[in-house]
């Protein structure tokens, strides 16, 4: 698959000015997905574009696949702030190749992360534990809830992709022979509850998790290294295939999470808007902490966006023009 085409900030003004005589932002729709990180990023873009750049931006609710499909086929919503393009690589590549959409930057600077995590206090107490092999050498540190003497690897509930991959990697690394059992928590709430209980009791826990998430903003967890290079052919052949009988050691790929815009919008809006969208990128740690605050306060995406703006001026002022920054401060 071709690598996604990223439009650098230096190139943006030339492309934009080539197709427009107008410098108005105009009206646009921003896709907000049905999970916290996408919701707060859409609200952040809406607030900054409306208050800082004079746009008339409205939010539309959509899931990843229909939002990007509509962006490619209809040019709307004009902006998809958090596009998990790995969910539909062929559509994404087609949209780029046909000039319908443009990827202007990374929504998550360190990408969408999945893998096995352990509590940081376990690694602090046992600094030798860095890899999957290290974990599997110590079943006594990760006790199974219903099988004394065994270690437990929490897979996530059945039906999750993470459950399949964790099961296959556990098989590949010989977890059963090393004294581990797999634990299906039954639901997302059960999965999170297992992490919370481990923290409350200061016990070991190892299993599937991902970022950005509110839970990783609340509980300090460390991702472990699988100690094997990522092999995408093996990933497609067996690591991610439930019934594959002979998985081999592998690693989890990092998901590209990109900000996508409609080509027509890019060519007709204020170049300063595209400059903002190309610079606006935040880390999983930042989003995890913000989502934890939102969860604790039962906050909406709009409230989360304003919380971020009030407390992270040193970050967001690097994304916007000085004039826009003054307008945003005044609107808070």
Does position 7 have pLDDT exceeding 70, yes or no? no
Q: From CA 109, how far away is CA 258, in angstroms rounded?
A: 9
Residue pLDDT, tens place only, 216-255: 999 999 999 999 999 999 999 999 999 999 999 999 999 9
Q: From CA 104, how far away is CA 125, in angstroms rounded?
A: 42
Does position 128 have pLDDT exceeding 80, yes or no? yes
Q: From CA 126, how far away is CA 124, in angstroms rounded?
A: 6
Q: From CA 291, how far away is CA 192, in angstroms rounded?
A: 15
Q: Which residue has the higher pLDDT, 64 or 147?
A: 147
Q: Report the pLDDT value the prediction gives residue 65, as an integer from 0 to 100.
A: 85
Q: Which residue has the higher pLDDT, 116 or 6?
A: 116
Residue 23 pLDDT grade (very low, low, confident, very high; cuts 50, 70, 90): low
Residue 11 pLDDT grade (very low, low, confident, very high; cuts 50, 70, 90): very low
Helices of type H across 50-110:
53, 64-74, 89-97
Provide CB contacts within 8 A for 34, sequence distance 6+: 61, 63
Q: From CA 207, how far away is CA 213, in angstroms rounded?
A: 15
Domains and CATH numbers, the chain: 12-111+255-331 (3.40.190.10), 113-239 (3.40.190.100)
The per-residue DSSP string of 116-176 comes to: EEEEHHHHHH-TT--BHHHHHT-GGGSB-SSSTT-EEEE---TTSHHHHHHHHHHHHTTTG
Q: What is the rounded average pLDDT of the residues 268-272?
A: 95
Q: Give the position of tokens 């991959």.
A: 165
- Computed over its alpha carbons, how large is the radius of gyration of the chain? 22
Q: Which helix (H) or strand (E) holds 31?
A: strand 27-32
Q: Whole-prediction pTM value?
A: 0.84
Does position 4 have pLDDT exceeding 70, yes or no? no
Q: Yes or no: say if 253 and 232 are a contact pair by the CB < 8 Å rule.
A: yes
Residue pLDDT, tens place only, 79-108: 999 999 887 888 999 999 999 999 999 999
Q: How far is CA 256 from the centre of its chain?
A: 8
Q: Which residue has the higher pLDDT, 64 or 1?
A: 64
Q: Report the pLDDT value the prediction gives residue 3, as an integer from 0 to 100.
A: 33
Peptide bond connecting 127 to the previous residue in cis, omega within 30 degrees of 0 = no
Residue pLDDT, tens place only, 182-219: 999 999 999 999 999 999 999 999 999 999 999 999 99
Pairing between β-strand 151-154 and β-strand 180-183 as defined by DSSP bridges: parallel
Q: Sheet harboring 101-106: ordered strands across?
A: 56-61, 27-32, 79-84, 257-262, 101-106
Q: Report the pLDDT value the prediction gives residue 15, as an integer from 0 to 100.
A: 42
Residue pLDDT, tens place only, 132-145: 999 999 999 999 99
Residue pLDDT, tens place only, 283-317: 999 999 999 999 999 999 999 999 999 999 999 99
User: Mean pLDDT across the chain, nearest whole number?
Assistant: 91
Q: Give the position of tokens 């206090």.
A: 121
């Amino acid at each position: 698959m071709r690598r996604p085409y990223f439009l650098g900030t230096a190139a943006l003004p030339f492309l934009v000015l080539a197709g427009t005589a107008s410098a108005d932002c105009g009206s646009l729709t921003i896709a907000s997905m049905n999970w916290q990180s996408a919701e707060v990023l859409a609200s952040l873009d809406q607030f900054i574009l409306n208050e800082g750049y004079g746009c008339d931006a409205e939010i539309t609710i959509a899931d990843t696949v229909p939002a990007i499909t509509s962006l490619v086929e209809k040019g709307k919503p004009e902006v998809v702030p958090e596009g998990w393009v790995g969910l539909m690589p062929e559509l994404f590549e087609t949209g780029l190749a046909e000039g319908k959409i443009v990827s202007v930057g990374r929504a998550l600077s360190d990408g969408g992360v999945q893998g096995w995590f352990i509590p940081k206090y376990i690694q602090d107490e046992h600094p030798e534990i860095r890899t999957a092999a290290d974990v599997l050498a110590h079943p006594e540190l990760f006790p199974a809830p219903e099988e004394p003497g065994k270690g437990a690897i929490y897979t996530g509930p059945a039906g999750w992709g993470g459950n399949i991959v964790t099961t296959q990697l556990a098989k590949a690394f010989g977890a059963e022979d090393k004294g581990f059992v797999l634990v299906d928590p039954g639901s997302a709430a059960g999965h999170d509850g297992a992490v919370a209980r481990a923290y409350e009791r200061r016990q070991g826990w190892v299993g599937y998790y991902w970022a950005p998430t509110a839970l990783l903003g609340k509980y300090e967890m460390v991702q472990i290294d699988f100690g094997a290079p990522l092999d995408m052919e093996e990933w497609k052949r067996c690591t991610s295939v439930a019934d594959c009988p002979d998985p081999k050691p592998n690693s989890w790929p990092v998901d590209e999470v990109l900000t996508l815009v409609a080509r027509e919008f890019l060519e007709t809006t204020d170049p300063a808007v595209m400059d903002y969208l190309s610079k606006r990128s935040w880390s999983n740690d930042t989003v995890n902490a913000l989502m934890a605050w939102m969860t604790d306060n039962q906050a909406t995406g709009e409230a989360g966006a304003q919380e971020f703006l009030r407390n992270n001026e040193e970050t967001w002022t690097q994304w916007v023009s000085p004039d826009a920054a003054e307008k945003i401060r005044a609107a808070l």
